[in-house]
A and B are shown apart, each in its own frame.
Chain A
Amino acid sequence: MRKLNLRPSTISSKVVMALAGVFLMLFLVVHLFLNLLMLMGDEGETFSNAVVFMTENPAVKIFEYVLFAGFIIHIIIGLLIEIKNYFARPVKYAVSNTSKTSFFSKYMIHTGLIILIFLIIHFTHFFFVKLNLVDIPGDITTDNHDFYAMAKYLFKNGIYTLIYIISFVFLGFHLNHAFQSAFQTLGLNHPRYTPFIKALSSIYAIVVSMGYSIIPIYFYFFY
């Protein structure tokens, strides 16, 4: 009989984490496209229509649950792996590693935790409003799905805007390593394609990070 193994191997854990990460990376693209509709210059009409479509679509509802599962799985495995790795070297080196390494890979837990803090802020101001868990910020509208009005209001605040932009920079650092790392974890390494995937990883990180940053900048400076 097969023994039931409740302690997943390090490889399995990382594969699950990478798969959740890939899902999150796809979500980031969808979410970005949707948000960029706010910049159409039509007082958020196209954007609001898209929001209505998203809210009413049952497929999106399912996607939302999978998304939460993805976040939770990714974060929990990330923390567990980090703890295990910490204990693998109880006595640290006096001179820390000076050999050539992939820079951002060493700070995944730090950039990850910054993203987590951002998520908490972001959720209290947008997502929880939708669920009626939190009052609409500043009472600027009566419709708890009018994210355009909320964004306009929230990004008037310089500090709030800055927090968003800084978070997106750290998100970019996370993604710069994450994208190509997921390929390696899933066993996809090839002398011909890997350099291309690494380049694509940086491009993806820059596009996502800058793409999201444009929105708060737009509202802060042009409204």
Chain B
Amino acid sequence: MNIKLKIWRQKNAQSKGKFETYSLNDVSPEMGFLEMLDYLNQELISKGEDPVAIDHDCREGICGSCGLYINGQPHGPEPKTTTCELRMRSFKDGSLITVEPFRSRMFPVIKDLLIDRSAFDKILIAGGFISSNTGTAPEANSIPVCKKKSDKAFDMAACIGCGACVAACKNASAMLFVAAKINQYALLPQGKVEAAERVKKMVAKMDELGFGSCSNTYACEAKCPKGISVSAIAKMNREFLHAKIVAE
């Protein structure tokens, strides 16, 4: 297939940046979206031009580094799919594909489509952990965990921190990400101990960094590659209110 690409090009964090259009022929429908960009970059390099900077690592949908905003959607048109899992067969022959970086004040562009997502790390540092002694791992079965809860915690832990929720949200809100991280711990006995402190600190950090608030538009849920539900946000709000009003 032959496609046209409109890609955001920006030299560095300070420069203004603009869209460039490229034509790419003989693209195989089985190619991954990132492979297609590799192919484009190969062409650019052979012409002596600067290749498009993109973020990627695992290319199998588990590391969360590959977010691109494709035709108005983070990770492109398919549900529950990361950019690296997206195939070119999702696009029509001859179509124009617009590729932008995830846009948010908290995710500044470093170069082209490459963004700095360290704001997420700052939120995790504020409370996304449990305190325990290092050394030999404790006996696994000494703390009983209800299967239903452990499954739910696992659903939350599926979050790969790609930032698609922030990118999709009209308010650039990080509520779905923070909710997944908070619930992942709050649902398990090991995390329950510090649950109240954790939710207060992580939400405070999220606000301080400047992420928007939740308008319950649910674009995050629609575009989460791991299918995390907005019920996680409701649960975080419950945890937060409990921590603020009841727990001291």
Contact = CB atoms under 8 A, between A and B. Distances in A.
Secondary structure call for the A interface:
loop
A188 interface: yes
A14 B207 CA distance: 13
Interface in B180-205: 203-204
A88 B203 contact: no
A186 interface: yes
A95 B213 CA distance: 22
Interface string B141-156: 0000000000000000
A202 interface: no
Contact of B230 (A96, A108, A177, A184): A184
Contact of B231 (A11, A15, A185, A189): A189
B240 interface: yes
Nearest to B168: A99
B240 A99 contact: no
Contact of A88 (B72, B106, B234, B236): B106
A181 B240 CA distance: 17
Contact of B19 (A94, A101, A108): A94
Contact of A189 (B8, B73, B172, B230): B230
A89 B215 contact: no
A85 B219 contact: no
Contacts of B106: 88
Interface string A77-97: 000010011011111111111
A106 B231 CA distance: 19
Interface in B41-89: 69, 71-74, 77
Contacts of A12: 240, 244
Contact of B72 (A99, A106, A188, A191): A99
A101 B222 contact: yes
Contacts of B219: 97, 99-101
Contacts of A190: 231
B8 to A, nearest CB: 8
B73 A92 contact: no
Contacts of B236: 11
A15 B213 contact: no
Contacts of A185: 214, 216, 237
Contacts of A100: 218-219, 222
B213 A81 contact: yes
A14 B171 CA distance: 14
A57 interface: no
A177 B216 CA distance: 9
Interface string A99-128: 111100110100000000000000000000
A38 B8 CA distance: 61
A87 B103 CA distance: 12
Contacts of B103: 89, 91-93
A9 interface: yes
B130 interface: no
A105 to B, nearest CB: 4
Interface of A: 7, 9-15, 81, 84-85, 87-102, 105-106, 108, 177, 180-181, 184-191, 194
14 contacts: A12-B244, A88-B171, A88-B210, A88-B212, A89-B172, A93-B100, A97-B170, A98-B72, A99-B74, A99-B222, A101-B217, A105-B218, A184-B230, A184-B233
Interface of B: 6, 8, 19, 69, 71-74, 77, 98, 100, 103-106, 168, 170-173, 203-204, 206-207, 210-219, 222-223, 230-231, 233-238, 240-241, 244
Given A10-B173, A85-B215, A101-B219, 17 more contacts: A10-B207, A10-B211, A12-B240, A13-B213, A89-B105, A90-B105, A92-B103, A97-B168, A97-B170, A98-B73, A99-B219, A177-B216, A181-B215, A181-B216, A185-B216, A189-B233, A194-B231
